[in-house]
Amino acid sequence: MPQPHQPNQIILPTYITPIDCPKCGAHAHLMRPSPALTGDGKGEIRTFECMKCGEHTKTFIKDEN
């Protein structure tokens, strides 16, 4: 029996505020968010790149839901 059509989930882009580069202090913008591969699978790893020196910084954001 055919499955009913499921509409695609729309994910709206959100603005992530740049962080300060730990190396030079300039703005580092979000380059790549990715799901965190933790035991509970709830969270996100965000990779920021500095616009001045090119330094990459990763942060972990835990999903509270």
The domain spanning residue 37 has which CATH number?
2.20.25
Report yes or no on 32 lying in a domain. yes
The pLDDT of residue 49 is above 70: yes
Report yes or no on 7 lying in a domain. no
In terms of C-beta density within 10 A (0-12 exposed, 13-18 middle, 19 or more buried), how is residue 48 classed? buried
Report yes or no on 2 lying in a domain. no
Measured at the alpha carbon of residue 35, what is the angle toward residues 33 and 40, in degrees to the nearest 5?
150
Which residue range(s) make up the domain with 58? 19-62
Report yes or no on 9 lying in a domain. no
Q: How many domains does the chain fold into?
A: 1
Answer yes or no: are the C-beta atoms of 49 and 55 closer than 8 Å: yes
Report yes or no on 12 lying in a domain. no
Q: What is the pLDDT of residues 14-46, one digit of tens each?
A: 778 899 999 999 999 999 888 877 666 678 889
Report yes or no on 48 lying in a domain. yes
